[in-house]
Amino acid sequence: MITMKRKRITLEKQQEKEILNQRELRVTKEGNDYFFEIGPEMTSDVAEAVSILMRKIDWNDPIWETTIDKKMIYENITPEKSLYWLSGGYKEWNTLDHYNRPWCDCYLEFQEEFGFLIVNLVKKSKTLLDVRNAFMKYLNLPTLYNFAISKNMVRV
């Protein structure tokens, strides 16, 4: 006689938690993932979100106090997205006012130089403010601009 035992599995539905909802900014968290809607931009990459927020949101806004969940999957961080915004964003890379090559020709060099740094800065941070401050210290515009000059990406 063969008896089959059934195993009961409880499926846990992950609920979306709204962290912040302002006029131009909405942040939600589902499980260990964050979702940012910043004006027309949408991303689940915390580093990219901070890079965009640095350009669009007041420096005293309460969003900066948002805690980063340490269970976040850091492999989902795409450094070139952050570097795009930190090095000028749409305005700079679409007009090429200062750069002499388009982003698609430059991003790999930026990523090779600063990619691991971005991930490590996010890993060490507890809040979005910590990420912002780390970006300002280690990935500020003079740092990125000097790198671009050294790689002949900039009109001098």
Residue 7 forms part of a structural domain? no
Residue 1 forms part of a structural domain? no
Residue 3 forms part of a structural domain? no
Give the model's pLDDT for residue 69.
84
Mean pLDDT of the chain: 87
Number of domains in the chain: 1
Residue 27 host element (H or E): strand 25-30
Structural domain for 113, as ranges: 16-150
Tens digits of residue pLDDT in 21-74: 666 788 888 887 889 999 899 999 999 999 999 998 889 988 899 998 887 778
